[in-house]
Amino acid sequence: MQPIFETSRLLLRPRTLADTDACLAMDADPAVTRFVTGPWSDPIAHRTFIEARTLGPYPRGLGYWVICRRNDAESFLGWVLLIPADGTRPEIEIGWRLRQAEWRQGIATEAAEPLLRHGFVTVKLPEVIAEIHPDNSGSQRVAEKLGLRRIGVVSLHGAPTLRYSMTLAEWSALQRLATVTGKA
C-alpha cells in the first residue's frame, strides 16, 4: 500500500495509469530527460515503459508518487519515486522529475523528504541510494540537501554515474540534529 503524503505546499499521491499522458507530456521536453537514459524517442516504447514502471510490482510501500499542489489534486507537477534501483536491482533508489515550469522552487526537495521518512520509518529500509549524471547539478544538489552522501562513481548503461547513499543511521542522526536545532 502506498500512502498519500502532504507537505506545506504539496500533495503526493500514488501514480496510476491515468497519469501516463501527463508523464509523456513532461518527458517531451528534452531538458527534462537530458540526463536520464530511457526510450524517450520511441512513443510506443516510452508509453510501455511508463506503464510498466507505474504498475511494478514493487515491494510493499514502494512505487511512484505524482506531485500535486496541495490545494489542487488534479495538478501534475511531476513525480518522485522510491523503487528498486533501475526497477530491478536489490538497492532501493529515490528519484525525482518535474515539469520544467516547476524547477528551482524547492519542490523536488520538499517532495522527496516524506518519501525518505516513509522509506526509513515505515518500510524500514537500511539504505536509500540515488544515481545521478555527473553534469546534473540540480539533481545532485537535491540529493545533498536531503542529506545523501556521494559515495562513488558507478557505470550505468555504459556511462559514469555518481552514486549517492543515505543509511538509516545517517537519516536518524539528521532527524535528531534537526530536533536539537529546532529545524524538525
Residue 137 within binding range of ligand COA, rule CB under 6 A: yes
Residue 107 within binding range of ligand COA, rule CB under 6 A: yes
Which residue in the block uniquely carries the three cell numbers 530527460? 33
Sign of CA dihedral 37, 171, 7, 143: negative
Q: Which is closer to ligand COA, CB of 23 or CB of 107?
A: 107
Give how far the C-alpha of residue 97 lies from the chain's centroid of Cα atoms, to the nearest Å: 7
Give how far the C-alpha of residue 127 lies from the chain's centroid of Cα atoms, to the nearest Å: 15
Taking 3-state DSSP, the helix, strand and coil percentages for the chain, each rounded to the nearest 5, stand at 40, 30, 30
Sequence-ordered list of residues with C-beta below 8 angstroms from that of 18, at least 6 positions apart, any chain:
none
Residue 32 within binding range of ligand COA, rule CB under 6 A: yes
* Binders of ligand COA in range 139-168 (CB under 6 A): 139, 141-142, 145
Q: Which is closer to ligand COA, CB of 35 or CB of 40?
A: 35
Q: Select from 70, 50, 145, 136 the least CA-distant residue to 106.
A: 145
Residue 103 within binding range of ligand COA, rule CB under 6 A: yes
Among 41, 104, 158, 181, binds ligand COA (CB under 6 A): 104
Residue 134 within binding range of ligand COA, rule CB under 6 A: no
Among 3, 43, 106, 126, binds ligand COA (CB under 6 A): 106
User: Rule CB under 6 A: which residues touch ligand COA?
Assistant: 32, 35-36, 78, 95-98, 103-109, 132, 136-139, 141-142, 145
